[in-house]
Amino acid sequence: MRTGFAIFFLLLLCFPFWGTYGILLHRRSCARRSIALQIAEGAGQSNLTKLSFSKADSRSLLDWEHGHEFEYLGEMYDVVRSEAIGDSIVYYCIPDKVETVLNNQLRQATNNNPQNKQDFKSLMDFFKSIYCPPLPDIYRHVAAMVKQQDHYFMAYLSHSFPPPVPPPKA
């Protein structure tokens, strides 16, 4: 019962980040589907943007999400059609403003600023304190002894160590 409450409260602790991230991913997939429907219906033919690149620039400058969508200079574009003309490629695209905004929000949510790093470190320290209690000194001593590569000692290692001084003679 107590374990169930602990797991429940840990999930509540993580929900603000994972919930926001999940909602943004869902909204991005909905935006992708709506643009795909617009392309299939031919509704976006009037506002096509023509972008031309050399084949080498196309590989290096464009960050492809999948076969018909890429990011260029921070803006998302959905490819309606493309033409290869000599050494260059011309893409006829629809600018995807909704997905651009959602990607910027996702980047901002997962940004590597110092405050996020400190929050993450604090959370990891908290989880370590729950799941990884510190080892007693005796186990650290055993681990140090095993690292010595003394095969005789490793073969007869036990949890009861001999006293530090020899026993008295009778």
pLDDT, tens digit only, all 170 positions of the chain:
778 777 877 777 766 666 666 777 777 777 777 766 666 666 556 678 888 888 888 878 887 877 778 888 888 888 888 888 888 888 888 888 877 887 787 777 666 556 666 777 777 777 666 666 565 555 555 656 555 555 555 555 555 566 667 777 77
Per-residue confidence (pLDDT) for residue 130, from 0 to 100: 67
Closest CA to 102 of 34, 36, 28: 28
Please write the tens of the pLDDT for every residue from 111-135.
Answer: 655 666 677 777 777 766 666 656 5
Give 72's contacts (C-beta < 8 A, 6+ positions apart).
51, 61, 62, 63
The pTM of the full predicted model, rounded to 2 decimals, is: 0.50
Per-residue confidence (pLDDT) for residue 160, from 0 to 100: 59
CB 77 within 8 A of CB 70: yes
How far out from the chain centre does Cα 93 lie? 29
Residue 152, class by beta-carbon neighbours within 10 Å (0-12 exposed, 13-18 middle, 19+ buried)? exposed
CA distance 83 to 16: 45
Q: Is the dihedral of CA 71, 74, 99, 24 positive or negative?
A: positive
